[in-house]
Amino acid sequence: MGRIEINAALCKGCYLCIEACRKKHIEIDDRLNVQDVLPVRVIPGTECTACPRCAMVCPESAIEVFHD
- Name which position in 20, 23, 38, 43 contacts other proteins (CB under 8 A): 20
- Name which position in 6, 26, 42, 63 contacts other proteins (CB under 8 A): 63
Run of H or E residues at 41: strand 40-42
Site size with other proteins, rule: CB under 8 A = 30
Binding site for other proteins (CB under 8 A): 2-3, 9-10, 12-16, 19-20, 35, 37, 50, 52-53, 55-68
